[in-house]
Amino acid sequence: MIIKVLGSGCMNCKTLEQRTVDALKNLNIDAAIEKVTDYQQIATYGVMRTPGLVVDNKVIVQGRMPTVEQIQELLTSHAA
Amino acid sequence: MRKKVIVITILFAVWIALYNNLERLTDLLVYSLIQLDKEAPLTSAIHFFIYEVPKVLLLLTLIVFIVGIIRSYFSPERTRKMLGGKKHFAGNVMASTLGIVTPFCSCSAIPLFLGFVESGVPLGVTFSFLIAAPMINEVALVLLFGLFGWKTALLYMSTGLLIAIISGYIIGRLKLERFVEDWVYTIKAGTTEIAEEQLTVSDRINAGIEAVKEIVAKVWIYILIGIAVGAGVHGYVPENFMASLMGKSAWWSVPVSVLIGIPMYSNAAGIIPVVQVLLEKGASLGTVLAFMMSVIGLSLPEIIILKKVLKLPLIFAFVGIVGSGIIIVGYIFNILY
């Protein structure tokens, strides 16, 4: 599982990253999180609202701040 | 779902009852319960504070909730689709109007700009959106409505729209595309799949509740401080204190207010209580409106962020055109009122 957090480094992006780390820990998934801060790269994902969360090249969150539980749900449903 | 509707209906009834009786309750509390001297300036300040804070918070909660629901129908993706292929004037009008209802956060200005331009939305139309979105928002409108009445709120909204439409139109006509950083036009949004969210009515109500939590949590402190300052000034600073500086007779006050406003950055909640104080103490409406638009609509941090995708001539054109528009609006209001 490749996980990317998209955002230029604003407060929201850091919070999302932290919550994703927590969610992965709760789910016992060992996956690396990559931060994408370059606007050019963010745009190539078609994301227009930060923060964004990309799992295996699929954008699962954009422009909102999901809770740790919601991220866990999204990750499990993605894996299924 | 049914439970949610019932709870919201009850809350709304409580809201109406509270809002309609606020003045009576304040009078009761200040004059009868605490028994403050009706003539003292301190009483007038306390009364102002106790009345205005719940009033503005009540209005804010209701409007943010409704706007939160409306916004769940508009995503930037959908807005972009609606704007694609739109030409000049009609596109500018539409982009400015959509700027009011499309969810927008200034930290997303660049990805949004890239997303629009990359998918073929004309530059001028994109700018109309980027000017309207931060300047005209529900918090600004609620505060203007709550503190000055619906006429001022409507005035602010319509002139803000006008500035966004005309500025975007001019930028489009000037053909400034060459001043966008070259890499912007080479981006090809990848084949990344974006999960389309299907929202139910229940989800939309939740979106409204989320919006209330988020926005009220963010701005309540500004409103409290702003109204407290307003209350203090209300009771103590002499009337017409600001008249010589920001009054109608001081013709230079409009451009100076705009120039001062550009490097300043504040959200609507922070600036409007200040605006109220200025107005009450003799500043003229046009000057104050221009100041407010400049603070909210043009800001140094935003300009610095835009530098990543725009070359300097285009940034100067953007600031110059929007700034002139705001100055003209300021003068028009000073003449009309």
What does DSSP say about strands A33-36 and A52-55: parallel, antiparallel, or unpaired? unpaired
Instruction: Answer whether residue A67 shows pLDDT above 90.
Output: no
The ipTM of this complex is 0.80
Q: Catalytic residue among A5, A13, A23, A36, which?
A: A13
Active-site residue, selected from the candidate residues A1, A10, A11, A43:
A10
Domain count, chain A: 1
Residue from A10, A37, A39, A50 whose CB has the most chain B CBs within 10 Å, to mutate = A39
Inter-chain residue contact A46 with B103, CB threshold 8 Å: no
Sequence-separated (6 or more) residues with CB below 8 Å from residue B42: B36, B235
- Distance (Å, whole) CA A66 – CA A18: 11
The dihedral over CA atoms of A7, B181, B310, B127, expressed in degrees to the nearest 10, equals: -90
**What percentage of residues in chain A have a pLDDT greater than 70?**
99
Nearest CA in chain B to A63: B108
In terms of C-beta density within 10 A (0-12 exposed, 13-18 middle, 19 or more buried), how is residue A28 classed? exposed
Check if A2 contacts B (Cβ < 8 Å).
no
pLDDT for the residue B232 = 79
Which letter does DSSP use for residue A45 in this model?
Answer: T
Using CA atoms, how far apart are residues A58 and A49, in angstroms rounded to an integer? Answer: 15
Q: Does A23 lie at the interface with B, CB-CB under 8 angstroms?
A: no
Nearest CA in chain A to B194: A59
> What range does the domain containing A25 cover?
3-79
C-beta atoms of A46 and B190 within 8 A = yes
Residue B197's pLDDT is 63
For B126, what's the count of Cα atoms within 13 Å in the CB-facing half-sphere? 21
Question: Which residue in A has a C-alpha nearest to residue B191's C-alpha?
Answer: A45
Q: What share of chain A is helix, strand, coil (3-state, %, to 5)?
A: 45, 20, 35
Per the structure block, which two tokens stand in for B300?
A: 């140094």
Which two tokens mark B278? 């200025």
Best CA proximity match to B124, nearest among B93, B102, B100, B97: B93
Where do the structural domains in chain B lie, given as residue ranges? 2-72+206-235, 76-183+239-336
Burial of residue B252 (number of CB atoms within 10 Å: 0-12, 13-18, 19+): exposed
Which of A42, A49, A60 lies nearest to residue B76, judging by beta carbons?
Answer: A49
CB count within 10 Å of CB B71 equals: 20
Per-residue pLDDT, B119? 82
In order along its 337 residues, chain B shows pLDDT tens digits of 788 889 989 999 999 999 999 989 998 888 888 887 877 878 888 888 899 889 889 988 998 899 889 888 888 888 888 888 777 789 999 999 998 888 777 777 888 888 888 888 899 999 999 999 888 877 788 878 887 888 888 988 999 999 999 999 999 999 888 898 888 887 766 545 565 567 788 888 888 888 888 888 888 888 888 788 878 777 677 666 667 777 777 788 899 988 888 887 776 777 777 787 788 788 888 898 898 888 888 888 778 888 888 999 999 999 999 999 999 989 988 888 7
Chain B residues lying within 8 Å of A46, measured CB to CB: 115, 189-190, 192, 194
C-alpha distance from A30 to closest chain B C-alpha (Å) = 23
For residue B193, the surrounding DSSP H or E stretch is strand B193-194
Stated length of chain B? 337
CA neighbours within 13 Å on the CB side: how many for B248?
Answer: 7
Q: Look-up: residue for tokens 């295996």?
A: A56
**CATH number, position A15:** 3.40.30.10
pLDDT of residue B239: 66
